[in-house]
Amino acid sequence: MSAITTSLAEYRHQLKSNRWGLWLFFLSEAFMFGGLLTSRFYLWGDTRPPLDQNLGFIVTVVLLLSSFFMNRAETAIAHDDRKNFQLNLIITAVLGIAFLVGVVGFEWQGEVRPTDGAYGAVLYGMTGMHALHVLSGLIFIMIVFFNGRKGHYSAERHWGVEACAVWWHYVDLVWVFFYPALYLMGTVIHP
């Protein structure tokens, strides 16, 4: 066996282990986010605080759109299209920043305060934990972007890009559950 074949076989074995590790990590994250959702329904019941419905919808669309561009970035590097890989990573990051600005910059300036009992605790707990994960995803995206500029990824070897994309899609999936729980379910009451 040549060194290249051995190296590729080792890479594939490591890739399998990395994927298992990532999915086990996501399982532990699912328990945390599931606990936050459970808290929402236990503490809020069939009510919810007055949140900006338009803002909630806009940030959700922005985050889902960012997932589309992340998928395009991953597909581009899988086809050795470095230009589109870099471009789509930047678009993903810009949309992720827009999401953060919408939630942290605008929603957190709304009517509900962190001191508003169960409503404040749940809202800031759920959106804060999610925002922290989006921020870590943005850092991950920038690391992948700069590594990509250095030529660290190819069609055959792009685990870092795959892991980043899976992380980003996971964060988006969590928001798909958080959005209706926060913005759509329950009768509006003022804290």
Q: What is the pLDDT of residue 6?
A: 52
For residues 61-66, give the mean pLDDT: 98
User: pTM value?
Assistant: 0.89
pLDDT at 3 over 80: no
**Domain assignment present for 190:** no
pLDDT confidence bin for 1, thresholds 50/70/90: very low
**Domain assignment present for 42:** yes
As a whole number of angstroms, the distance between CA 86 and CA 158 comes to: 13
**Domain assignment present for 131:** yes
**Per-residue pLDDT reduced to its tens digit, 92-150:** 999 999 999 999 999 999 999 999 999 999 999 999 999 999 999 999 999 999 999 99
**Domain assignment present for 38:** yes
Question: Hey, which bits of the chain come out as E strands?
Answer: 47-48, 187-188
Q: Which two tokens stand for residue 36?
A: 């936050």
- CATH at 69: 1.20.120.80
Do residues 63 and 175 touch, judged by C-beta distance below 8 A? yes
As a whole number of angstroms, the distance between CA 51 and CA 58 comes to: 13
Distance from chain centroid for Cα 28: 15
Tally of structural domains, the chain: 1
**Domain assignment present for 82:** yes
| DSSP designation for 114 | T
Domain of 46 in residue numbering reads as: 3-185
Percent helix, strand and coil across the chain, each to the nearest 5: 80, 0, 15
**Domain assignment present for 191:** no
Percent of the chain at pLDDT above 90? 77
Instruction: Kindly report the average pLDDT of the chain as a whole number.
Output: 91
**Per-residue pLDDT reduced to its tens digit, 34-47:** 999 999 999 999 99
